[in-house]
Structures are given as structure tokens and as C-alpha cells.
Amino acid sequence: MPRYLIVNADDFGASTGINRGIVECHTRGILTSTSFMVTGRAVDEAVQLSREHPRLAIGLHFDVWGEDEREFDLGNHDAVREEFGRQLGEFQRLLSRNPTHVDSHRHAHRQEGMMPIFQELVAPLGVPLRDDGRVKFIGGFYAQREWMVTELEYVSVPFLLKILAEEVGEGWTEVSCHPAIDRRIFTPSISPSARPKSPR
């Protein structure tokens, strides 16, 4: 059976540094896809860049927390459905198309009890939902597995080659990443000690 690889960048629209890093990885590297955060601070720039790079596949990166500057109760399923509809509508308004896939910031949709709800919400679109079983998901190419601790070995070329050799199997596989060209990406609103470990 053939092997198909998707290299997807999260957080498109979150900041200028992230947007430019994603585009550079697409034009000069192996990045094929990105996930658009319609709640981000650099949405307009992301929209313009998407027009300049039509071969870049773009999905919806559902976001209800940002970098902890907002609170949202995932236990309120009606609110989840309403917010998903709002963000999907905003995606369609900004890009004049449907997303190629759906995932979520800080993996909100993969938290306990959330996957069935998101499968229901995404089904009418006919596109993959991250980690729904149709596409193998690999999230380990990420340098900050613990808040404020950067381990560059986990975003090195040797580590990527190791992932490709050992974890990418037959069928479709997604490797997620978080490129940026500026370290000043987010401004946390809570202290590092209060921040939970990353679920990526």
C-alpha cells in the first residue's frame, strides 16, 4: 500500500512571525498544509498569504483559549457547537471556501468526550478531523513539550528523519509542526507555573 505524507503547520493567523514561518516552510521546505486560527491576531495577513500561495491546503484550527487569555468550558456542548459554527462561518467568509481539514488549538477536540461532538460537526464537510482514525497523527515534532522548556532536538532534521523512517507507515499520515521566524510569538497571560503541560 502506498504511503502519503501531510506536513501540517498549526496556528496560521496567530501572529506575523508564525505566518511567515509557515509560508517559508511551504515554499522552501516540505510543508503541504496549515490550520487557520480565525481568532488570531494576524488573520488579515494570513488571508493575503493564502491568496499568494494557492497550493497551500488550509484547514480550520478551532480555538477557544488562545494562549490562556480566554476561558471556555468545553463541558457546555451547546456552546461548543455554537462556537464551532461561528468559527467555521468566519473561515468561509475570509477564504471563500471550506477547510480541507479540521483540528484544534491545544487539541481541544481530543479531550475527553469531545471527539464524538466534533465528528458530528465536521461530518457535513466531508473532510478529515485530526486523529479521527482516517489519517494517522504524529504530534511529536514539537520543541516545547513542557511550558517554557525548549528542546531543539525535537525539531531537528535528524529527529524528523527518524519520525519519517520509524513512524510513517502505509496510507495517510499527518506530521504536525509549529514553524515561526520570530521568537516573540505569544504573550502569555498567566504565569509559567500555572500553565499546564502541553498536550501536543
What is the structure's pLDDT at 177? 95
Contact in structure between 133 and 115 (CB atoms under 8 Å): no
Round to whole Å and give the CA distance between 125 and 72.
24
> Is residue 48 a part of any domain in this protein?
yes
Task: State the maximum Cα–Cα separation within the chain, in Å, rounded to a whole number.
Answer: 48
* Interval 172-193: pLDDT, tens: 999 999 999 865 554 433 333 3
> Is residue 199 a part of any domain in this protein?
no
Residue bearing cell 464537510 = 125
> Is residue 136 a part of any domain in this protein?
yes
> Is residue 200 a part of any domain in this protein?
no
Round to whole Å and give the CA distance between 181 and 18.
7
- Name the pairing type of β-strands 3-12 and 57-62: unpaired
Q: State the chain's mean pLDDT as an integer.
A: 89
> Is residue 15 a part of any domain in this protein?
yes
Residue 129's beta-bridge partner residues?
102
Domain residues for the domain of 97 are 3-194
* Interval 88-102: pLDDT, tens: 999 999 999 999 999
Round to whole Å and give the CA distance between 142 and 200.
8
* CATH number of residue 70's parent domain: 3.20.20.370
The number of distinct structural domains making up the chain is 1
